[in-house]
């Protein structure tokens, strides 16, 4: 099929490259000429495993093209997938980019006669597609919904694993305005992916996205609540408590006497809290939207509040352990919000560096991929030095803090090589290290959920 992708940020670029890999002809539309040129030169403008190879292959084979001309993109395709960002601003979700994209598409549909399907893949609040989006398209095109197709197809991509998730989905949800919309749009996936398609209403598709992210965020905050309780009790480790919880057969079933560990148990883990471009903004947007309907979502609010306290609690524990932070040398390992990504949006590590800077610590920060983005985000904060050779530095640190579990950090620290860091204290903000490795090392191991 001929598909146009409107907006080539994180979701749009992954979507476009993967659909081209599956054999579709894809036109990526972006407002920035530099981004379009880089894609056409086979460059990935974000770091994501396998993405660069997919783009290079698709461009070379003529299945992927980028342009700033939205009229060309829409006119040359059968389906337009809107992937623009929907940030949280001023107490609610900001749909300005969605409005602009669908308004532009509507104007083009006024002069385009063949049936065209518009898909909203951007995360939008329930009712946005069948009211705001539909109304704008009808107004600008002069056509009624049904004369053009309208679907909502949420994405469920994990940064660092987005290409794998897209190519091997465990669910494809299609919210459709009518039968014709669904039948036409399902050809994007049918025959290309083995996963069954779940057809629902437009509003159901929108809420599935929010409900999914809210549940995962809730599990993380639940784990950190248990960690806080464990620290208050003393003499135990929250990770052992949570592991015991996950052995319940309703969570981890047994087959032939062996436990099956489902992916969701990864979210039952204490640590520095969630971050990134999705969980924080989606939870806030759902809370604000729900409250506008007159309902107070207490569980969602508690989830967000627990998460917002998490980095501050790490800072407080460091301050107490070191008898103050002023002038103390702190190594922060990891700046991206998660491993295998260069995304620093809502990164707990960035928040930690800012808090340490405000308390006049001397911060040495390292990350394999996110250093340049972090450098820009931390402009104006004092006492920050970005390290490349953290393994062989001659600096003696008062504390080292693991904030992003990059494999190279785990290998380095778990192998016992951490002694070369010359630090007396290692704080595991991810609970990703083997605490027993540090017995007899001369390094005091601390972590979330251990008093």
- Tell me which residues are annotated as active site: 278
At which residue do the structure tokens 């669908």 appear?
102
78 closest CA partner among 128, 24, 139: 24
> With contact defined as beta carbons under 8 Å apart, do 18 and 162 qualify?
no
Angle CA 119–99–158, to nearest 5: 55
CA distances from 430 to 1, 111, 161, 178 (A): 43, 54, 18, 46
Of 235, 234, 260, give the one whose Cα is nearest residue 247. Answer: 260
Here the tokens at position 178 are: 């009518």
- Helix (H) or strand (E) holding 174, with range, is strand 172-176
**Residue 425 to residue 143: CA distance in whole angstroms:** 66
Rg (CA), the chain: 24
Among candidates 47, 18, 15, which has minimal Cα distance to 29?
15
Q: What angle do CA 274, 120, 126 make, to 5 degrees?
A: 65
Selection from 128, 132, 131, 133 nearest residue 117 by Cα: 133
Structure tokens at 339: 């491993």
Is the separation of the CB atoms in 125 and 146 below 8 Å?
A: no
68's tokens: 């700033």
Residue 105 Cα to chain centre, angstroms: 27
């Amino acid at each position: 099929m001929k598909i146009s992708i409107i907006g080539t940020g994180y979701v749009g670029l992954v979507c476009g490259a993967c659909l081209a890999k599956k054999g579709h002809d894809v036109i990526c539309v972006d407002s920035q000429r530099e981004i379009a040129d880089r894609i056409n030169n086979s460059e990935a403008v974000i770091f994501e495993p396998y993405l660069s190879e997919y783009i290079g292959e698709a461009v070379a084979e003529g299945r992927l093209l980028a342009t700033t001309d939205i009229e060309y993109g829409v006119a040359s395709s059968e389906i337009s997938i809107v992937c623009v960002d929907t940030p949280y601003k001023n107490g609610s979700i900001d749909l300005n980019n969605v409005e602009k994209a669908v308004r532009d598409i509507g104007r083009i549909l006024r002069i385009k006669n063949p049936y065209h399907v518009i898909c909203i893949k951007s995360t939008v609040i329930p009712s946005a597609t069948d009211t705001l989006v539909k109304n704008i398209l009808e107004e600008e095109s002069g056509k009624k919904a049904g004369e053009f197709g309208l679907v909502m197809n949420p994405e469920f991509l994990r940064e660092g694993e987005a290409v794998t998730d897209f190519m091997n989905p465990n669910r494809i949800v299609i919210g459709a305005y009518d039968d014709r919309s669904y039948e036409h749009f399902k050809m994007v996936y049918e025959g290309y992916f083995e996963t069954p398609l779940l057809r629902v209403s437009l509003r159901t598709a929108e809420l599935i996205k929010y409900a999914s992210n809210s549940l995962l965020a809730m599990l993380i905050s639940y784990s950190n609540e248990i960690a806080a309780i464990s620290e208050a009790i003393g003499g135990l480790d929250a990770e052992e408590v949570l592991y015991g919880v996950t052995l319940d057969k309703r969570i981890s079933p047994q087959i032939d006497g062996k436990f099956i560990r489902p992916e969701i148990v990864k979210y039952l883990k204490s640590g520095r809290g969630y971050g990134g471009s999705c969980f924080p903004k989606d939870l806030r947007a759902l809370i604000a939207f729900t409250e506008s309907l007159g309902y107070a979502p207490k569980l969602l609010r508690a989830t967000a509040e627990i998460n917002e306290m998490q980095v501050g609690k790490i800072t407080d524990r460091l301050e107490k352990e070191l008898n103050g932070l002023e002038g103390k040398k702190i190594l922060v390992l990891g700046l991206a919000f998660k491993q295998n990504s260069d995304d620093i949006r809502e990164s707990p590590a960035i928040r930690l560096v800012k808090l340490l800077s405000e308390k006049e610590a001397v911060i040495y920060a390292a990350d394999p991929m996110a250093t340049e983005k972090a450098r820009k985000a931390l402009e104006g904060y004092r006492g920050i030095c970005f390290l490349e050779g953290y393994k062989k530095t001659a600096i003696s640190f008062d504390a080292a803090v693991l904030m992003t579990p990059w494999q190279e950090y785990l290998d380095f620290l778990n192998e016992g090589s951490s002694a070369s860091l010359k630090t007396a204290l290692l704080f595991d903000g991810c609970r990703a290290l083997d605490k027993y490795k540090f017995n007899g090392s001369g390094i005091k191991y601390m972590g979330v959920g251990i008093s």
